[in-house]
Amino acid sequence: MKITILYVEDEEEIRNNTKRPLEYLCDKLILAQDGKEGLELYKQYDPDIIVSDIKMPNMNGIDMTKAIKEINPNQYIIFTTAHSESSFFIEAIDMQVDGYILKPIDYELLENKIENIKEQIDIKLKNKQQEKEIQQQKLNILEQSKNAQMGDIIGNIAHQWRQPLSVISTAATGIQIKKQLGMISDDEENSLLESIDKNAQFLSKTIDIFRNYIKEKRETKTVILQTRVNLAISIVEASLKNNNIKIINNINKIDDIQIFIVVGELTQVLINIFNNAKDILSEQNKKDKWIKIDLERRENKAIITIEDNGGGIPDNLISKIFDPYFTTKHQSQGTGLGLYISKDIIEKHLHGKLSVKNSQNGAIFKIELPLSSIK
Protein backbone atom coordinates (compact mmCIF):
# COMPACT_ATOMS: atom_id res chain seq x y z
CA MET A 1 0.00 0.00 0.00
CA LYS A 2 1.45 3.37 -1.06
CA ILE A 3 0.40 6.37 1.01
CA THR A 4 0.35 10.00 -0.07
CA ILE A 5 0.00 12.76 2.52
CA LEU A 6 -0.92 16.36 1.84
CA TYR A 7 0.35 18.73 4.52
CA VAL A 8 -1.15 22.22 4.60
CA GLU A 9 0.50 24.83 6.86
CA ASP A 10 1.08 28.53 6.34
CA GLU A 11 3.91 29.05 8.84
CA GLU A 12 7.15 28.17 7.17
CA GLU A 13 9.00 27.16 10.33
CA ILE A 14 6.33 24.74 11.51
CA ARG A 15 6.01 23.39 7.96
CA ASN A 16 9.72 22.66 7.76
CA ASN A 17 9.87 21.08 11.20
CA THR A 18 6.92 18.77 10.61
CA LYS A 19 8.02 17.83 7.11
CA ARG A 20 10.67 15.37 8.25
CA PRO A 21 8.54 13.17 10.56
CA LEU A 22 5.73 13.15 7.96
CA GLU A 23 8.12 12.02 5.25
CA TYR A 24 8.87 8.91 7.29
CA LEU A 25 5.20 8.06 7.46
CA CYS A 26 4.35 8.07 3.76
CA ASP A 27 5.67 7.37 0.29
CA LYS A 28 4.90 10.80 -1.03
CA LEU A 29 4.52 14.08 0.83
CA ILE A 30 2.93 17.13 -0.77
CA LEU A 31 3.24 20.53 0.85
CA ALA A 32 0.84 23.47 0.57
CA GLN A 33 1.06 26.95 2.07
CA ASP A 34 -2.62 27.65 2.53
CA GLY A 35 -6.09 26.21 2.02
CA LYS A 36 -6.36 27.44 -1.54
CA GLU A 37 -3.16 25.76 -2.64
CA GLY A 38 -4.11 22.74 -0.52
CA LEU A 39 -7.39 22.33 -2.41
CA GLU A 40 -5.67 22.62 -5.77
CA LEU A 41 -3.02 20.08 -4.85
CA TYR A 42 -5.71 17.82 -3.42
CA LYS A 43 -7.49 17.74 -6.76
CA GLN A 44 -4.22 17.12 -8.53
CA TYR A 45 -2.77 14.35 -6.35
CA ASP A 46 -5.77 12.76 -4.60
CA PRO A 47 -3.81 12.12 -1.37
CA ASP A 48 -4.84 9.44 1.12
CA ILE A 49 -4.44 11.58 4.22
CA ILE A 50 -4.52 15.34 4.78
CA VAL A 51 -2.82 17.04 7.71
CA SER A 52 -3.88 20.65 7.85
CA ASP A 53 -3.60 23.78 9.93
CA ILE A 54 -6.88 25.59 10.55
CA LYS A 55 -6.10 29.30 10.57
CA MET A 56 -4.48 30.28 7.27
CA PRO A 57 -4.63 33.17 4.80
CA ASN A 58 -6.52 32.93 1.46
CA MET A 59 -8.56 29.93 2.50
CA ASN A 60 -8.64 28.50 6.00
CA GLY A 61 -8.52 24.79 6.85
CA ILE A 62 -12.25 24.60 7.58
CA ASP A 63 -13.29 25.97 4.19
CA MET A 64 -10.76 23.80 2.41
CA THR A 65 -12.09 20.73 4.22
CA LYS A 66 -15.68 21.61 3.31
CA ALA A 67 -14.71 21.73 -0.35
CA ILE A 68 -12.75 18.49 -0.11
CA LYS A 69 -15.49 16.62 1.73
CA GLU A 70 -17.81 17.54 -1.10
CA ILE A 71 -15.47 15.75 -3.49
CA ASN A 72 -14.87 12.81 -1.16
CA PRO A 73 -16.97 12.62 2.03
CA ASN A 74 -14.70 9.88 3.37
CA GLN A 75 -11.44 11.78 3.01
CA TYR A 76 -9.13 11.27 6.00
CA ILE A 77 -8.20 14.60 7.59
CA ILE A 78 -6.22 15.55 10.71
CA PHE A 79 -6.25 19.15 11.96
CA THR A 80 -3.35 20.75 13.73
CA THR A 81 -4.54 23.65 15.79
CA ALA A 82 -3.41 26.21 18.34
CA HIS A 83 -5.31 26.97 21.51
CA SER A 84 -6.01 30.45 20.27
CA GLU A 85 -8.02 29.02 17.41
CA SER A 86 -10.77 27.71 19.68
CA SER A 87 -13.46 29.55 17.71
CA PHE A 88 -12.63 27.35 14.70
CA PHE A 89 -12.32 24.34 16.85
CA ILE A 90 -16.06 23.77 17.40
CA GLU A 91 -16.66 23.98 13.66
CA ALA A 92 -13.83 21.54 13.06
CA ILE A 93 -15.41 19.01 15.41
CA ASP A 94 -18.69 19.32 13.51
CA MET A 95 -16.93 18.38 10.30
CA GLN A 96 -16.13 14.90 11.52
CA VAL A 97 -12.45 14.98 10.82
CA ASP A 98 -10.30 12.08 11.90
CA GLY A 99 -8.15 13.75 14.52
CA TYR A 100 -6.96 16.98 16.15
CA ILE A 101 -3.51 17.75 17.35
CA LEU A 102 -2.66 20.76 19.44
CA LYS A 103 0.30 22.88 18.54
CA PRO A 104 3.13 22.66 19.21
CA ILE A 105 2.79 19.32 17.42
CA ASP A 106 3.61 16.22 19.39
CA TYR A 107 5.19 14.11 16.63
CA GLU A 108 4.57 10.83 18.39
CA LEU A 109 0.89 11.61 18.65
CA LEU A 110 0.82 12.61 14.98
CA GLU A 111 2.50 9.33 14.06
CA ASN A 112 -0.03 7.33 16.10
CA LYS A 113 -2.93 9.01 14.42
CA ILE A 114 -1.51 8.52 10.96
CA GLU A 115 -0.67 4.86 11.60
CA ASN A 116 -4.21 4.40 12.80
CA ILE A 117 -5.65 5.85 9.61
CA LYS A 118 -3.28 3.75 7.52
CA GLU A 119 -4.68 0.63 9.17
CA GLN A 120 -8.20 1.75 8.33
CA ILE A 121 -7.19 2.39 4.72
CA ASP A 122 -5.60 -1.04 4.58
CA ILE A 123 -8.76 -2.76 5.86
CA LYS A 124 -10.93 -0.87 3.40
CA LEU A 125 -8.61 -1.83 0.57
CA LYS A 126 -8.70 -5.48 1.53
CA ASN A 127 -12.50 -5.47 1.76
CA LYS A 128 -12.73 -3.85 -1.64
CA GLN A 129 -10.35 -6.44 -3.07
CA GLN A 130 -12.40 -9.26 -1.60
CA GLU A 131 -15.63 -7.82 -2.95
CA LYS A 132 -14.04 -7.50 -6.36
CA GLU A 133 -12.90 -11.10 -6.28
CA ILE A 134 -16.38 -12.34 -5.32
CA GLN A 135 -17.89 -10.25 -8.10
CA GLN A 136 -15.38 -11.63 -10.58
CA GLN A 137 -16.12 -15.18 -9.46
CA LYS A 138 -19.83 -14.62 -10.03
CA LEU A 139 -19.13 -13.26 -13.50
CA ASN A 140 -16.95 -16.27 -14.28
CA ILE A 141 -19.68 -18.63 -13.16
CA LEU A 142 -22.25 -16.87 -15.32
CA GLU A 143 -19.93 -16.86 -18.30
CA GLN A 144 -19.14 -20.54 -17.90
CA SER A 145 -22.77 -21.47 -17.53
CA LYS A 146 -23.64 -19.41 -20.61
CA ASN A 147 -21.04 -21.33 -22.59
CA ALA A 148 -22.31 -24.63 -21.25
CA GLN A 149 -25.87 -23.64 -22.18
CA MET A 150 -24.82 -22.70 -25.69
CA GLY A 151 -23.18 -26.10 -25.98
CA ASP A 152 -26.40 -27.72 -24.76
CA ILE A 153 -28.49 -25.76 -27.22
CA ILE A 154 -26.29 -26.69 -30.14
CA GLY A 155 -26.33 -30.31 -28.98
CA ASN A 156 -30.11 -30.25 -28.87
CA ILE A 157 -30.37 -28.70 -32.33
CA ALA A 158 -28.08 -31.42 -33.64
CA HIS A 159 -30.37 -34.05 -32.15
CA GLN A 160 -33.49 -32.43 -33.57
CA TRP A 161 -31.93 -32.19 -37.01
CA ARG A 162 -30.45 -35.65 -37.33
CA GLN A 163 -33.68 -37.39 -38.27
CA PRO A 164 -35.12 -34.85 -40.76
CA LEU A 165 -31.72 -34.31 -42.36
CA SER A 166 -31.37 -37.99 -43.00
CA VAL A 167 -34.89 -38.13 -44.49
CA ILE A 168 -34.06 -35.21 -46.79
CA SER A 169 -30.80 -36.70 -47.95
CA THR A 170 -32.32 -40.15 -48.53
CA ALA A 171 -35.18 -38.66 -50.54
CA ALA A 172 -32.85 -36.51 -52.64
CA THR A 173 -30.47 -39.34 -53.50
CA GLY A 174 -33.49 -41.61 -54.09
CA ILE A 175 -34.85 -39.24 -56.72
CA GLN A 176 -31.43 -38.90 -58.34
CA ILE A 177 -30.72 -42.63 -58.65
CA LYS A 178 -34.21 -43.57 -59.76
CA LYS A 179 -34.11 -40.80 -62.37
CA GLN A 180 -30.83 -42.11 -63.78
CA LEU A 181 -32.36 -45.56 -64.07
CA GLY A 182 -35.56 -44.09 -65.52
CA MET A 183 -37.54 -45.85 -62.82
CA ILE A 184 -39.47 -43.04 -61.14
CA SER A 185 -43.11 -42.13 -61.62
CA ASP A 186 -44.36 -38.55 -61.35
CA ASP A 187 -46.35 -39.48 -58.27
CA GLU A 188 -43.38 -40.96 -56.50
CA GLU A 189 -41.21 -38.00 -57.39
CA ASN A 190 -43.82 -35.61 -56.05
CA SER A 191 -44.23 -37.46 -52.81
CA LEU A 192 -40.46 -37.55 -52.22
CA LEU A 193 -40.19 -33.83 -52.99
CA GLU A 194 -43.04 -33.18 -50.60
CA SER A 195 -41.30 -35.06 -47.85
CA ILE A 196 -38.13 -33.03 -48.50
CA ASP A 197 -40.15 -29.86 -48.19
CA LYS A 198 -41.93 -31.00 -45.03
CA ASN A 199 -38.70 -31.92 -43.32
CA ALA A 200 -36.97 -28.74 -44.40
CA GLN A 201 -39.82 -26.81 -42.80
CA PHE A 202 -39.32 -28.77 -39.62
CA LEU A 203 -35.64 -27.78 -39.62
CA SER A 204 -36.57 -24.17 -40.00
CA LYS A 205 -39.18 -24.41 -37.23
CA THR A 206 -36.59 -25.88 -34.88
CA ILE A 207 -34.29 -22.97 -35.54
CA ASP A 208 -37.13 -20.55 -34.82
CA ILE A 209 -37.87 -22.20 -31.48
CA PHE A 210 -34.24 -21.98 -30.44
CA ARG A 211 -33.82 -18.48 -31.78
CA ASN A 212 -36.87 -17.28 -29.86
CA TYR A 213 -35.67 -18.97 -26.74
CA ILE A 214 -32.30 -17.23 -26.91
CA LYS A 215 -33.86 -13.89 -27.85
CA GLU A 216 -36.58 -13.72 -25.22
CA LYS A 217 -34.36 -14.78 -22.36
CA ARG A 218 -34.61 -11.51 -20.46
CA GLU A 219 -38.17 -10.48 -21.29
CA THR A 220 -40.60 -10.17 -18.40
CA LYS A 221 -44.23 -10.75 -19.29
CA THR A 222 -47.42 -12.55 -18.41
CA VAL A 223 -47.48 -15.99 -19.96
CA ILE A 224 -49.33 -19.26 -19.65
CA LEU A 225 -47.19 -21.56 -17.59
CA GLN A 226 -48.20 -24.66 -19.54
CA THR A 227 -47.00 -23.07 -22.78
CA ARG A 228 -43.60 -22.34 -21.26
CA VAL A 229 -43.15 -25.85 -19.95
CA ASN A 230 -44.18 -27.29 -23.31
CA LEU A 231 -41.64 -25.07 -25.04
CA ALA A 232 -38.87 -26.37 -22.79
CA ILE A 233 -40.01 -29.91 -23.55
CA SER A 234 -39.95 -29.25 -27.29
CA ILE A 235 -36.36 -28.08 -27.02
CA VAL A 236 -35.11 -31.29 -25.42
CA GLU A 237 -37.64 -33.66 -26.96
CA ALA A 238 -35.52 -35.00 -29.79
CA SER A 239 -32.51 -35.63 -27.63
CA LEU A 240 -34.67 -37.48 -25.10
CA LYS A 241 -36.22 -39.57 -27.88
CA ASN A 242 -32.79 -40.47 -29.21
CA ASN A 243 -31.97 -41.79 -25.75
CA ASN A 244 -35.22 -43.79 -25.60
CA ILE A 245 -36.59 -41.64 -22.81
CA LYS A 246 -40.35 -41.22 -22.69
CA ILE A 247 -41.90 -37.94 -21.63
CA ILE A 248 -44.98 -38.28 -19.46
CA ASN A 249 -46.51 -34.85 -19.71
CA ASN A 250 -49.38 -34.26 -17.27
CA ILE A 251 -49.35 -30.49 -17.26
CA ASN A 252 -52.32 -29.93 -19.51
CA LYS A 253 -54.65 -31.71 -17.11
CA ILE A 254 -55.40 -28.49 -15.22
CA ASP A 255 -56.67 -25.09 -16.34
CA ASP A 256 -54.20 -22.64 -17.82
CA ILE A 257 -52.12 -20.86 -15.20
CA GLN A 258 -51.11 -17.30 -15.95
CA ILE A 259 -47.85 -16.08 -14.50
CA PHE A 260 -45.73 -12.92 -14.72
CA ILE A 261 -42.09 -13.90 -15.07
CA VAL A 262 -38.80 -13.52 -16.88
CA VAL A 263 -39.82 -16.06 -19.49
CA GLY A 264 -36.52 -17.38 -20.76
CA GLU A 265 -35.14 -18.02 -17.30
CA LEU A 266 -37.79 -20.53 -16.34
CA THR A 267 -37.19 -22.33 -19.62
CA GLN A 268 -33.48 -22.44 -18.82
CA VAL A 269 -34.17 -24.06 -15.43
CA LEU A 270 -36.51 -26.65 -16.92
CA ILE A 271 -33.98 -27.52 -19.60
CA ASN A 272 -31.27 -27.94 -16.95
CA ILE A 273 -33.45 -30.34 -14.97
CA PHE A 274 -34.48 -32.30 -18.07
CA ASN A 275 -30.87 -32.56 -19.20
CA ASN A 276 -29.79 -33.88 -15.79
CA ALA A 277 -32.47 -36.56 -15.94
CA LYS A 278 -31.41 -37.42 -19.47
CA ASP A 279 -27.75 -37.64 -18.38
CA ILE A 280 -28.47 -40.16 -15.63
CA LEU A 281 -30.95 -42.19 -17.68
CA SER A 282 -28.75 -42.40 -20.75
CA GLU A 283 -26.06 -44.14 -18.69
CA GLN A 284 -28.49 -46.90 -17.83
CA ASN A 285 -29.49 -49.96 -19.79
CA LYS A 286 -33.05 -50.46 -18.66
CA LYS A 287 -35.89 -50.56 -21.16
CA ASP A 288 -38.44 -48.30 -19.58
CA LYS A 289 -36.97 -44.82 -19.08
CA TRP A 290 -39.15 -41.84 -18.36
CA ILE A 291 -39.38 -38.26 -17.18
CA LYS A 292 -42.70 -37.24 -15.68
CA ILE A 293 -43.85 -33.64 -15.46
CA ASP A 294 -46.76 -32.57 -13.24
CA LEU A 295 -48.30 -29.21 -12.54
CA GLU A 296 -50.43 -28.21 -9.63
CA ARG A 297 -52.00 -25.01 -8.37
CA ARG A 298 -52.04 -24.64 -4.62
CA GLU A 299 -53.31 -21.41 -3.04
CA ASN A 300 -51.35 -18.73 -4.83
CA LYS A 301 -48.52 -20.95 -5.92
CA ALA A 302 -47.86 -22.98 -9.02
CA ILE A 303 -45.90 -26.16 -8.39
CA ILE A 304 -44.08 -27.96 -11.15
CA THR A 305 -42.62 -31.36 -10.30
CA ILE A 306 -40.23 -33.24 -12.53
CA GLU A 307 -39.55 -36.85 -11.67
CA ASP A 308 -37.33 -39.34 -13.45
CA ASN A 309 -36.76 -43.03 -12.96
CA GLY A 310 -32.98 -42.84 -12.97
CA GLY A 311 -32.58 -44.16 -9.40
CA GLY A 312 -32.14 -40.83 -7.64
CA ILE A 313 -29.29 -38.96 -6.01
CA PRO A 314 -27.14 -40.74 -3.38
CA ASP A 315 -28.07 -39.59 0.15
CA ASN A 316 -24.60 -38.30 0.91
CA LEU A 317 -24.62 -36.04 -2.18
CA ILE A 318 -28.15 -34.71 -2.18
CA SER A 319 -27.34 -31.70 0.01
CA LYS A 320 -24.51 -30.67 -2.33
CA ILE A 321 -26.09 -30.71 -5.75
CA PHE A 322 -27.04 -27.02 -5.71
CA ASP A 323 -23.47 -25.97 -4.86
CA PRO A 324 -21.48 -24.26 -7.62
CA TYR A 325 -19.15 -26.65 -9.45
CA PHE A 326 -20.58 -29.73 -7.78
CA THR A 327 -20.72 -32.45 -10.41
CA THR A 328 -20.40 -36.21 -10.53
CA LYS A 329 -19.85 -36.09 -14.27
CA HIS A 330 -16.66 -36.14 -16.26
CA GLN A 331 -15.12 -32.73 -16.90
CA SER A 332 -16.15 -32.78 -20.53
CA GLN A 333 -19.72 -33.62 -19.52
CA GLY A 334 -20.63 -31.29 -16.71
CA THR A 335 -19.58 -28.02 -15.16
CA GLY A 336 -21.68 -28.51 -12.02
CA LEU A 337 -23.29 -25.12 -12.56
CA GLY A 338 -26.68 -26.19 -13.96
CA LEU A 339 -28.50 -26.56 -10.66
CA TYR A 340 -26.61 -23.75 -8.94
CA ILE A 341 -27.79 -21.30 -11.60
CA SER A 342 -31.25 -22.86 -11.58
CA LYS A 343 -31.68 -22.32 -7.86
CA ASP A 344 -30.43 -18.76 -8.21
CA ILE A 345 -32.95 -18.06 -10.96
CA ILE A 346 -35.94 -19.63 -9.20
CA GLU A 347 -35.23 -18.20 -5.76
CA LYS A 348 -33.55 -14.83 -6.39
CA HIS A 349 -35.12 -13.77 -9.69
CA LEU A 350 -38.51 -15.47 -9.64
CA HIS A 351 -38.94 -15.44 -5.82
CA GLY A 352 -39.92 -19.08 -5.70
CA LYS A 353 -38.32 -22.23 -4.37
CA LEU A 354 -36.37 -25.07 -5.98
CA SER A 355 -35.93 -28.27 -4.01
CA VAL A 356 -35.19 -31.93 -4.57
CA LYS A 357 -35.87 -35.29 -2.97
CA ASN A 358 -35.70 -38.91 -3.99
CA SER A 359 -38.74 -41.02 -4.82
CA GLN A 360 -38.89 -44.80 -5.26
CA ASN A 361 -38.08 -44.20 -8.91
CA GLY A 362 -35.51 -41.48 -8.95
CA ALA A 363 -35.07 -37.77 -8.30
CA ILE A 364 -38.03 -35.40 -7.97
CA PHE A 365 -37.34 -31.72 -8.51
CA LYS A 366 -39.97 -29.32 -7.26
CA ILE A 367 -40.29 -25.76 -8.57
CA GLU A 368 -42.64 -23.54 -6.59
CA LEU A 369 -43.56 -20.21 -8.15
CA PRO A 370 -45.59 -17.44 -6.53
CA LEU A 371 -48.61 -16.35 -8.59
CA SER A 372 -49.30 -13.22 -6.58
CA SER A 373 -47.28 -11.03 -8.90
CA ILE A 374 -49.64 -11.57 -11.85
CA LYS A 375 -50.10 -8.35 -13.74
Ligand X SMILES: Nc1ncnc2c1ncn2[C@@H]1O[C@H](COP(=O)(O)OP(=O)(O)OP(=O)(O)O)[C@@H](O)[C@H]1O
**Rounded distance between C-alpha atoms, residue 51 and residue 44, angstroms:** 16
Binding partner at 280 among Mg ion, ligand X, none, C-beta below 5 to 8 Å by kind: ligand X
**Rounded distance between C-alpha atoms, residue 13 and residue 18, angstroms:** 9
Among 304, 305, 300, 221, which residue's Cα sits nearest to residue 263? 221
Q: Is 30 in the site for ligand X (CB under 6 A)?
A: no
Q: Is 336 in the site for Mg ion (CB under 5 A)?
A: no
Least distance (Å) between residue 313 CB and ligand X: 4
Q: Which residues contact 116 (CB under 8 A, 6 or more apart)?
A: 99
Which single residue brings its beta carbon nearest to Mg ion?
338
Nearer to ligand X, 226 or 335 (CB): 335
Q: Which of 276, 308, 312, 350 binds Mg ion (CB under 5 A)?
A: 276
Least distance (Å) between residue 321 CB and ligand X: 4
DSSP 26: -
Q: Is 148 in the site for ligand X (CB under 6 A)?
A: yes
Angle (CA) 8-11-16 rounded to 5° is 75
Binding partner at 264 among ligand X, Mg ion, none, C-beta below 5 to 8 Å by kind: none
Which of the stretches 98-106, 132-140, 246-254, 337-345 binds ligand X when contact is defined by CB under 6 A? 337-345
Q: Which residues contact 199 (CB under 8 A, 6 or more apart)?
A: 164, 165, 167, 168, 171
**Rounded distance between C-alpha atoms, residue 52 and residue 59, angstroms:** 12
Q: Which residues lie across from 80 on neighbouring strands? A: 53, 101
Nearer to ligand X, 329 or 353 (CB): 329
List of E strands, the chain: 4-8, 28-32, 49-53, 76-81, 99-102, 220-224, 245-249, 258-262, 289-298, 301-308, 353-358, 363-370
Binding partner at 321 among Mg ion, ligand X, none, C-beta below 5 to 8 Å by kind: ligand X
Nearer to Mg ion, 26 or 293 (CB): 293
Nearer to ligand X, 115 or 323 (CB): 323
Q: Is 358 in the site for ligand X (CB under 6 A)?
A: no
Q: Which residues contact 339 (CB under 8 A, 6 or more apart)?
A: 272, 273, 276, 321, 322, 326, 354
Least distance (Å) between residue 327 CB and ligand X: 3
List own/partner pairs for 320-329 with CB under 8 A and 24 or more apart.
321/356, 322/354, 324/141, 329/279
Binding partner at 313 among Mg ion, ligand X, none, C-beta below 5 to 8 Å by kind: ligand X
Site string (85-114) toward Mg ion, x via CB under 5 A: ------------------------------
Q: Is 329 in the site for ligand X (CB under 6 A)?
A: yes
Q: Is 338 in the site for Mg ion (CB under 5 A)?
A: yes
The answer, yes or no, to whether the previous bond of 21 is cis (omega within 30 of 0) is no
Site string (249-288) toward ligand X, x via CB under 6 A: -----------------------x---xx--x--------
**How many positions of this chain bind Mg ion (CB under 5 A)?**
2
Residues near ligand X (CB under 6 A) = 148, 272, 276-277, 280, 308, 310, 312-313, 321, 326-329, 334-340, 362-363
